[in-house]
Amino acid sequence: MRPLSRVRHQRRMSQDGIGLATESKGLYYAAIAGMKAGSVAESGTRLRGKAAPGNGHGSTTREHTPAPVRHEANGEPAIERPAMTAHYIRSRIGKICVAITGTNPAEMLRNAEDTVRENHFVEFRLDYLANPVAMLPKLKTFLYERGEVTAIATCRRTATGGKFKGTIQAELEVLEKAALAGCHLIDIELQTAEHMKPAQMKRLRSRGAALIISYHDFDSTKDLDKIFERIRPFQPEFIKIVSTAKSLADNVAMMRFLASRRDEAELIGISMGEQGTISRVLGLRAGSVFTFASAQPGEETGAGQIDARTLREAWRIDHIDASTKVYGVVGNPVRHSLSPLMQNMAFRRETVNAVFLPLQTSRLNDLLTLVRDVPLHGLAVTMPFKTEIIKHLEKTDALSEKIGACNTVVRAQDGKLYGFNTDVAAVVRPLERRLPLKGAKILVLGAGGAGRAAVFGLVDKGAEVFILNRDAEKAKKLARQAKAKTIRKDQLAKSNFDVIMNTTPVGMRGVKPTCLLEPKELNARLVFDLVYNPIDTPLIRMAREKGLPVVTGVEMFVHQGARQFEIWTGKPAPEEEMLRVVVHALRQQAAAATAEK
């Protein structure tokens, strides 16, 4: 029989109910309280009748005969404590470690107090402080009084991507004192570990905290196995490797690495950056022990970091397991898309074991790698892929084939990908509620995927459709295919329409603002903007200033999303709840934007 690795042996012990995780928390707190408040080794005195903080079992009585005390070279007593095991740390923590920052000790402490109300696993980024040592007495008291909190101390130097301007020796002194103050783990960079002398490492390891050795690549995702092999000889309790995702496929590389090494060490693996979101959510099931989060939006300590509440409530990270199906919205841009919020709420409401993620890319091959290797079970397709993706599907519905645009992909039980279009109904339905479409004169701005859906759907209902597009040839081609007409911009001021509809991304949050139309060109009975975020786009505001009725993109967005949910799950969509959560989020964003002005 092949001998168990150290990590597998620890996990087997956990399954059999053996080890520290099975011992009373009261016994642990009684022991650790002595370390936090000043251990017997530090004081050389006996403790009698000292209540362990937070154990709920009343007082304990403990006697100890001090052993001879070894002294450091500076004459101070040496303090040696066995490091906490990875097995024990894992018994205390959840899936998310929340990074705590602050410009001064008081602010960092306030932020910590706010955070630990909901998150008991935190990282103190001491390098964010001008004088990290000044924080340590406060940190010692904070941890003594909160036995449920598990804390990492990090004091990363500027040379390795942090904010601490001191030397390696100064960094180690801060971390040693943080361990003595009660931090359960200390994080040092691989570059620091490789410059340490054996005596320095021995001293650091004797302070009682578990050791994380980490490596950050701020440029790429490469050489993950080589970095792992550089860290492993130091035998830390945890190995942390953080790369930067330049593509969606980089997430696949990180997750493959985690899956291949998960039985060899306790791993934390994350890809930073806007395109690394997938690794922050799905890395846990690939083998990462935990992931990092910010305490609040705007307090990120790494590129692409997500706040803890969003991870838990929007992306349901605590419920992701090996059987969780993965869906996503793909396109560029999708960073501000509310599809993840809306669809994850629907999955939760209808008890579907699934997660929905933003997948931002401008390269279809990048997306297809992710679809194949994760694998993905469904996609909401946005610009610029609605037309291009069709040739990579096994089959599409008749509507997608007719208009040459697909916005919904599902992986069927045979493992093949099939395409549908829910845009057409979502465009037509809001207008049919407001006016007869047969014979209506409608101007459609744009000839992309959404524009194609709008033109074909409206022509099919008997409307007279005019197309205005930046690329005139593309507009003419669509007009020929759909039996519509084109119009030049210089004709608009003298033209009147029943409806003017924007199908372009102009006005979307995160897109560089440009002017679609001048007020004199906005001659219509109704204005419909398919952009939903923000609700009040420049076009919608212009229409309201002219006293024109409007239809915002929220109505279409929720309707097409509800149909997508039904295609993916086979369940009726909770459309009212989907609308409610989207409108609430948009109002919050609008209020925040107003407050910033």
Of 36, 325, 386, 461, which is the active-site residue?
386
Instruction: Return contacts of 115-121, CB within 8 angstroms, 24+ apart.
Output: 115/295, 115/308, 116/146, 116/148, 116/149, 118/308, 118/309, 119/94, 119/295, 119/308, 120/92, 120/93, 120/94, 120/148, 120/149, 120/150, 121/92, 121/93, 121/94, 121/96, 121/97, 121/149, 121/150, 121/290
**Residue 583 · residue 575 · CB < 8 Å:** no
**Residue 388 · residue 363 · CB < 8 Å:** no
**Residue 387 · residue 404 · CB < 8 Å:** yes
H or E stretch covering 527 = strand 524-529
* Strands across the sheet containing 150-154: 267-272, 238-244, 210-216, 185-189, 150-154, 121-125, 96-100, 291-294
How far, in whole angstroms, is CA 518 from its chain's centroid? 39
Place of tokens 């690495």: 257
Active site residue 386: yes
Question: Percentage helix, strand, coil, to 5, in the chain?
Answer: 45, 20, 40
**Residue 571 · residue 354 · CB < 8 Å:** no
Which residues are known catalytic residues?
A: 386
